[in-house]
Amino acid sequence: MSGRLVAVVGSRALPVSWAGRVSEVVQDLVRHGRSLGLGGALGADLFALRAVLQLGAVKGARVFLPGSVAQAPVASAHLLRSFLAGGGEVVTGPALPGCSRRDFVAALFARSQALVQASGGVVAFIAGRSSGSWFTCQAAARLGRPVVVFPVEGPGALQSLGCGSWKPLRCWPGSWRWVPSVPAGQRCRHGITVQCCAGL
């Protein structure tokens, strides 16, 4: 992945048994000089945040939230405070305390979009339907960013991100990288640019 900041995201329902795998990937990225962009939620986000703190890789890392730190899940609140104290950056979103579910969901999607915009690529750990995680992957594919997915249920659970296909990665067993069928910025078979056709 070409960008220094890499987004590590995934399902809130990611099994605890996957925490070690998330930590290994975070450690590998840090070892290669990458900073981490995180979502600040539960599951994969929580495992990644914990790994960043344990590695002392806080400086340069960024956590994107739908609202304020005070609105973060209880399980991650104390980790976020440690993250801030260590020099990490938290990017807050537009969700206000007590806002409607509709407004909060909109803020979640805006948070994901901002995370993708700031990142040079996305690594996602996905279990179940996880529409938010797939939204993040699709947003990255639209921008021509590299997307790597660890599908908990196996490759049969992978979703199309537009014109292209999934290819297994050797460096991270069990992961798959999205490979567009045409270079970013060129027209695909839908007659529009690759950045715009993800999700069709």
pLDDT < 70: residue spans in the chain: 1-3, 183-200
**Does residue 110 sit within a domain?**
yes
Provide the whole-model pTM.
0.90
Scored b (16 or more CB within 10 A) or e, 57-89 reads bbebbbbbbbbebebbeeebeebbeebeeeebe
How many domains are there within the chain?
A: 1
Residue 197 CB partners (closer than 8 Å, separation 6+): 142, 162, 163, 188, 190
* pLDDT for the residue 89: 97
- Residue 199 lies inside a defined structural domain of this protein: no
R_g of the chain computed on alpha carbons: 16
The single residue listed with the structure tokens 């948070």 is: 111
User: Does some domain include residue 197?
Assistant: no
Residue of 147, 153, 120 lying closest to 135 (CA atoms): 147
pLDDT tens digits along 57-100: 999 999 999 999 999 999 999 999 999 999 999 999 999 999 99
The CA distance from 66 to 148, in Å, is 23
| CATH code of the domain in which 13 resides | 3.40.50.450
Cβ-contact 45, 9 below 8 angstroms: yes
SS3 167: strand
Residue 152: give the domain boundaries: 5-159+166-181
Whether residue 188 lies inside any domain: the answer is no
